[in-house]
Chain A
Amino acid sequence: MIEFLASYEPGVVTWLMLPAVLFAIGIYGLLTRRNAVGILISAELAINSAAMNFVIFNRFITPAKVDGQVMSLFIIAAAAAEVVVGVAIFVMLFKHRRTMDVTRMDAMRR
């Protein structure tokens, strides 16, 4: 049993499946959520999976270095920045339009 499990120890490809699936789920959320905050949350999912990719590559391709982890740090910082601006915009938007439904935000089309 243990041997069987050990033989399935995840390699780099298996590991990469994880962020791929998470990213896809994030995209689904980005494309389907109607609430703007929901879209922000989905974007966070996607960004997080991207950061995870760096860590995986760092661990399996260049285990002697920490460059991938540094990149992940930068990504987290950028994500934080994005969320701050996003939240500010949405709060403002809500004040003006009393709705967070993105399907009704098509002023550029009219």
Chain B
Amino acid sequence: MLSAAVTTVLFFALLALAVAFAVATVLTRRIFRSAIYLMGTLATSAAFYVMLGAEFLAGVQILVYVGGIVVLIVFAVMLTSSGEMLEDHPSALRRFLGFVVAAGFCATTVFVCFLTEFKSVAADKAVHAGDAAAIGRKLLDRGAEGYVLPFEIISLLLLCVVIAAIVIARKTGAAAGSGAGAGEQG
């Protein structure tokens, strides 16, 4: 009873926080702050994961998302010197269009959710399956229910991405030779 009440309070409080961060993320005109608000949203999400019993995932969320991706984005902000300037307001038409589409999406999803019957299973039956060992076994299981193939594909994808990022971002054309030379000297 108490835990249920705590869950309720915690849920709605975090919900408010997450939505507030998310709204701030998309509305602020300073792109750097936007990245920070994103970090807030993601951290709140990690809290939700904990509430959902996915502690390992919450850890990964913090590590990869907050620690990796957001930092990468911050780098991008700095490299494009977007941090120093205020972003222009989008046009009124675009804001209206965006709002209508987003609201339409939200309404549709909510509508569909309410009208769908979920075969919900009581939470108490749940094994405390959120531990890393279960996930690890699942990822490396070569059986019918295992995910070893997607896992390998994801690893390949990440490798490709690393190469691709280097290829895209390196100096091109005539500048390429001098850039390579500078790298060797460094």
Contact = CB atoms under 8 A, between A and B. Distances in A.
Q: Classify A-B as touching or not with yes or no (CB < 8 A).
A: yes
A78 interface: yes
Contacts of A55: 48-49, 52, 54, 57
A17 B69 CA distance: 25
A22 B127 contact: no
B1 A29 contact: no
Interface in B139-179: 139, 145, 147, 150, 154, 157-158, 160-162, 164-166, 168-169
Specify the main secondary structure of chain A where it touches its partner: helix
A42 B126 CA distance: 34
Contact of A84 (B18, B56, B161): B161
Interface residues of B, number: 89
B73 A40 contact: yes
State the majority secondary structure of interface residues on B: helix
B102 A52 contact: no
A66 B134 contact: yes
Given A18-B15, A62-B121, A73-B57, A45 B52 contact: no
Interface of B: 1-2, 4-5, 7-9, 11, 15, 18-19, 22-23, 25-26, 31, 34-35, 38, 41-42, 45, 48-49, 52-54, 56-57, 60-61, 64-65, 68-69, 72-73, 75-77, 79-82, 87-88, 90, 94-95, 97-99, 101-103, 105-106, 109-110, 113-114, 118-121, 123, 125-127, 129-130, 134-135, 138-139, 145, 147, 150, 154, 157-158, 160-162, 164-166, 168-169
10 contacts: A6-B1, A9-B7, A27-B101, A32-B26, A36-B80, A37-B76, A66-B138, A70-B138, A76-B64, A79-B69
